[in-house]
Amino acid sequence: MNKFDELITEYSYMFTKSYRIDTVSGVQQGHLKDNVFAADKTVSRKPILPIAIMDNVDAGVQKVQIGVWDLGRWKKIVVEREVLTNSSKIIKLANQGVPVGTDNSRLMAQYFNDLLAEYDEKIPRNPARSVMGWVEQDEKRLFMPYEAGIDFDGEDSYKYLYDAIKQRGTLQEWVDYCLPHRLCIEIRLVMAAAFASPLIELVGENPFVMHLWGGTGTAKTVSLLIAASIYGDPKPGKLVRTMDMTANAMRGTAAFLNSIPFCGDELQTIKSKWNGSYDQLIMQITEGIDRGRMKYNSIEDIKSWKCSFLFTGEEPCVKAGSGGGVANRVIQIEVSKKLVDDGNAVANFFRTHFGTAGPEYIGALQSGLFDIDGIYRSYFSDLIKTDTTDKQAGAMALMLTGDKIAHDVFWPDEPEMTTDMVVQYLASARQVDVSERAYQYACGVVSENSCNFTNSSRIVWGQANEDGTVYINRSVLARILTDAGYDFEACKKAWERNGYLLKRCDGRVSHSVKLNEIVTSCIKLKLPNQDQPQLTDFFGAIPFTED
């Protein structure tokens, strides 16, 4: 029995009264005469029939999988039920090889409507999902696409991503090849960020960004390939995406991946699209929810995601003028050395060995053998004792938790990664604090332009005092802060609270100081002394330098 006969035999109950199907005549509509089928009209020149009803839990839309006999094989197409049973809409299927046009669209729509109505309970029903990662199904937490019996029913634009979440090579080959490369802490941390992605929803945390930046030739992209290979094909254009995409495309991709990490290479390629700053992008993607949009008669469903974002680039994505919310949501690591010896060989291996670790890792999370929340809370408790912030500690605790579980499942003989090993990569509370960074930046500018604080200068910004304070023209201060992305009005309360801004005896902020024989409104700042700790170069540049 050939493939055609097998399928027709399985669905023969549909063709006992009004319709007949064969490879010569296609689909015929007719009637029974003396228990013999008599054809009246041709519905389709090719055999075509509904073979499954797909109930999409995410979209709340029922779709139908149809089979079209074409060139000696069954071609399967998934289409919304409304399209199949509407004579004007069903013509759209002509682009997919369905023999339908204006001459037979009404007959074919009636054909599908009759079969779906009469045999609704007999046609197999399959649950379908349109997003990957964790999904709720019958009060169970399942992980797409590793669950048997659940079909993919996503938009055509994401099918290439769905197809990339596949396996090639063996798990043991992948595990053995990864082991020596995990001696590099940067590679291990990128992998940890990928392992952390499915944990975000489980522990109730927010999405975060892991950004690896540095000069060319340091194998940052290779590190990204290694991390992406956990879940599927890491080739560029597959699970590793170019960053040259719109914000809508990025959010849509994140919503599709859901719990699987978003891997983006060469962040600097979209710098001009965001006016030289990534702040808005980072805030949007780490919120984990898309903006609502109006259709002409309704509001589109709001998409959400709970994944980590793994980026590479030639510069830090958090700059000196970035907001505290942005700095909080990013773990960024500068790469100043080559991470692998032979980048081409390593990349070639992971282009042919991928996707085998994902099902094993997710199975471990589902097994109940790991107290995921307990492990996470333990790491978080240790990290928050340092001078970092809650969000930074939360992101790194997720990475350590993912690394711990991956260690136990894949590499039990390697040393465990400890909090002491990763604290250096966390931003401190002072580095995250915008007002603190603004103050350090202002002091750095004063130091760099010290000649402008003497009356002998052609350009006078202010006046330096022997007691370690400085008067600076209020307009000049506001301008230099604005140019760096800060706002004086937003910082002055914190400066006053920290003792950086010295007010007048009457409580006013502005001091009247004669500069170049002109009375000028100035701000009085206390300059840092040698014992006062300075900010590090976490944001890509040291904002304060000594003479």
pLDDT (0 to 100) of residue 544: 32
> Per-residue confidence at 56, pLDDT binned at 50, 70, 90?
confident
Q: Please choose, from the candidates 150, 157, 164, the residue with its C-alpha nearest in 3D space to the C-alpha of residue 58.
A: 150
Each residue of 367-411: pLDDT tens digit? 999 999 999 999 999 999 998 999 999 999 999 999 999 999 999
Average pLDDT over residues 240-247: 85
Produce one character per residue of 112-121: b if its CB has 16 or more CB atoms within 10 Å, e if not: bebbbeeeee
More confident residue, 276 or 419: 419
pLDDT at 280 over 50: yes
Task: Spell out the SS3 assignment of 26-71.
Answer: EEEEEEEECCEEEEEEEEECCCEEEEEEEEECCCCCEEEEEEEEEC
Q: Please choose, from the candidates 323, 325, 330, 329, the residue with its C-alpha nearest in 3D space to the C-alpha of residue 486.
A: 323
Residue 222, Cβ neighbours under 10 Å: how many?
A: 23
Cβ–Cβ < 8 Å for 543, 440: yes
Each residue of 71-123: pLDDT tens digit? 889 898 888 899 999 999 999 999 988 999 999 999 999 999 999 999 988 99
User: 235-249, 447-461, 530-544: lowest mean pLDDT where?
Assistant: 530-544
pLDDT (0 to 100) of residue 293: 52
Q: Ramachandran region of residue 507, left (φ > 0), alpha (ψ -120 to 50) or beta?
A: left
User: 88-97, 285-294, 327-336: lowest mean pLDDT where?
Assistant: 285-294
More confident residue, 340 or 298: 340
pLDDT (0 to 100) of residue 207: 96
pLDDT (0 to 100) of residue 1: 59
User: 11-15, 340-344, 390-394: lowest mean pLDDT where?
Assistant: 11-15
Residue 86 half-sphere exposure, CB side, CA atoms within 13 Å?
9
pLDDT at 299 over 60: no
pLDDT (0 to 100) of residue 538: 45
Cα separation values, 498 from 177, 435, 501, Å: 52, 10, 8
Question: Whole-prediction pTM value?
Answer: 0.80
pLDDT at 543 over 50: no
Q: Is the peptide bond before 543 cis (omega within 30 degrees of 0)?
A: no
Q: What mean pLDDT, rounded, does the chain reach?
A: 88
Cα separation values, 436 from 20, 259, 496, 501, Å: 78, 35, 11, 12
pLDDT (0 to 100) of residue 27: 92
pLDDT (0 to 100) of residue 539: 45
Cα separation values, 179 from 157, 222, 240, 414, Å: 35, 15, 21, 8
Cα separation values, 62 from 133, 150, 152, 180, 361, Å: 21, 14, 13, 48, 32
More confident residue, 290 or 94: 94
pLDDT at 303 over 80: yes
Residue 473 token pair: 């023209």
pLDDT (0 to 100) of residue 530: 60
Most confident listed range (38-52, 217-231, 421-435): 217-231
Which distant-in-sequence residues (6+ apart) come within 8 Å of 241 by Cβ?
253, 262, 263, 264, 265
Which distant-in-sequence residues (6+ apart) come within 8 Å of 503 by Cβ?
496, 509, 524
pLDDT at 48 over 80: yes
Each residue of 172-223: pLDDT tens digit? 999 999 999 999 999 999 999 999 999 999 999 999 999 999 988 899 999 9
pLDDT at 57 over 80: no
Cβ–Cβ < 8 Å for 259, 302: no
Average pLDDT over residues 483-498: 91
Cβ–Cβ < 8 Å for 543, 437: yes
Each residue of 148-163: pLDDT tens digit? 778 787 666 788 899 9
pLDDT (0 to 100) of residue 165: 95
More confident residue, 517 or 166: 166
